[in-house]
């Protein structure tokens, strides 16, 4: 079913002059003056749409959770003066009703909502028959199926204009980013829905303003359609997520320095060279598969030998040896260690499956 979903391009439902689409604004609408002055500054930068949190789902209570309905008339004032479409996050049917009452142009479903199919279905039911674009953030946890499910629910409600927002994923490990990007997940989403617009939220991925440029460039290198960047007149004193917001001046620098890649090229030399390199990759890939087949043949022999000698299939010492040595070999060959570690986890799991299959087949005999 997923493969049959078709999505309209961003340009058919939001006006923007050139790629990428840029949505900018503060994490939270703190005061009418703050929102209006920020919008004026962003208008000068020719951003394509504004954003601000009205309802702020916080991890813990007693934090600033947004001004709620009180802030919605401020959006009307901003739109009247600067003439840009406005996007807000919604999490309940009531939020949708209130936002549309005050002329909000674009709704987005946050990560904490996307993770809950019951919540998404309530939102989808409330959107049925409503002609408003909906942006769907990835769920907090790195599970593609939840993201796809949320997109399908909104699509099945009859929403015609949909885009995905990649804002990174929470993990137990503390690393460089606030939310690990796991770029492979949105890439896989794009392979499933080739015409689904994808917008990157480098503010939430990075969690720190000095990471926003590099993350934005990475997104554009991966052919994302747009960026959503949190922008505040005085980020250090913002009422929420101060560390990840930039000033309008810094946003201008970021947008100016970004390199926009072409989706493809018609240059004959480029096309010929590309095909030559791809042919070489195809040959190497076939060799890789042949090597994997040879490895699995050895694994099958290993399984038979263990069975004959009444030895367990899984052995921790061997597992540890593989995952210590293979990344070390990779590093010496200038191949990323983490990539090889992940690859050999899959190979080792398949090896265990293969040996289990041999063991069961022997029993039948």
Q: What is the DSSP letter of 13?
A: T
Which of these ranges, 129-138, 246-255, 314-323, has the smallest mean pLDDT? 314-323
Q: How many percent of the chain have pLDDT more than 70?
A: 97
**What is the pTM assigned to this prediction?**
0.81
Average pLDDT over residues 299-322: 89
Domains and CATH numbers, the chain: 2-257 (3.20.20.70), 268-364 (1.20.59.10)
pLDDT at 363: 53
pLDDT at residue 300 is higher than 50: yes
What's the confidence (pLDDT) of residue 1?
A: 42
**Helices marked H in the chain — which ranges?**
32-44, 72-82, 93-101, 111-114, 117-127, 144-156, 184-192, 202-206, 212-221, 248-257, 268-308, 316-332, 337-364
Q: Distance between the two ends of the chain, CA-based, in angstroms?
A: 42
Q: How confident is the model at residue 82 (pLDDT cuts 50, 70, 90)?
A: very high
Q: Does residue 277 register a pLDDT over 90?
A: yes
> To the nearest whole percent, how much of the chain has pLDDT over 90?
82
């Amino acid at each position: 079913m997923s493969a049959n979903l078709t999505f309209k391009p961003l340009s058919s439902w939001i006006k923007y002059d050139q790629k990428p689409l840029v949505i900018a604004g503060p994490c939270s609408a703190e005061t009418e003056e703050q929102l209006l002055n920020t919008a004026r500054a962003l208008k000068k930068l020719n951003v394509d749409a504004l954003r601000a949190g009205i309802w702020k789902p916080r991890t813990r209570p007693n934090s600033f959770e947004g001004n709620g309905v009180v802030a919605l008339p401020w959006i009307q004032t901003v739109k009247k003066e600067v003439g840009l479409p406005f996007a807000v996050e919604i999490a309940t049917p009531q939020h949708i009703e209130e936002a549309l009452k005050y002329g909000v142009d674009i709704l987005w479903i946050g990560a904490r909502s996307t993770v809950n199919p019951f919540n998404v279905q309530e939102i989808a039911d409330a959107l049925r028959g409503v002609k408003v674009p909906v942006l769907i953030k990835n769920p907090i946890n790195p599970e593609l199926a939840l993201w796809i499910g949320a997109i399908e629910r909104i699509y099945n409600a009859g929403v015609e204009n949909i885009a995905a927002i990649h804002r990174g994923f929470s993990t137990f490990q503390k690393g460089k980013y606030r939310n690990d990007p796991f770029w492979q997940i949105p890439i896989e989403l794009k392979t499933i829905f080739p015409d689904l617009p994808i917008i990157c939220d480098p503010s939430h991925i990075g969690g720190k303003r000095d990471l926003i440029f590099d993350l934005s460039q990475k997104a554009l290198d991966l052919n994302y359609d747009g960026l959503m960047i949190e922008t505040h007149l005085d980020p250090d004193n913002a009422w929420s997520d101060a560390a990840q917001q930039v000033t309008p001046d810094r946003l201008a620098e970021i947008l100016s320095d970004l390199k926009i890649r072409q989706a493809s090229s018609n240059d004959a030399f480029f096309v010929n060279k590309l095909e030559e390199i791809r042919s070489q990759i195809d040959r190497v890939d076939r060799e890789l598969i042949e090597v994997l087949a040879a490895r699995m043949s050895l694994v099958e022999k290993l399984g038979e030998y263990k069975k004959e000698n009444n030895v367990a299939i899984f052995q921790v010492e061997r597992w540890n040896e593989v995952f210590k040595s293979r990344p070390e070999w990779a590093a010496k060959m200038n191949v990323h260690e983490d990539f090889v570690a992940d690859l050999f986890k899959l190979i080792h799991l398949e090896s265990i499956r293969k040996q289990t299959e041999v063991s069961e087949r022997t029993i039948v005999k």
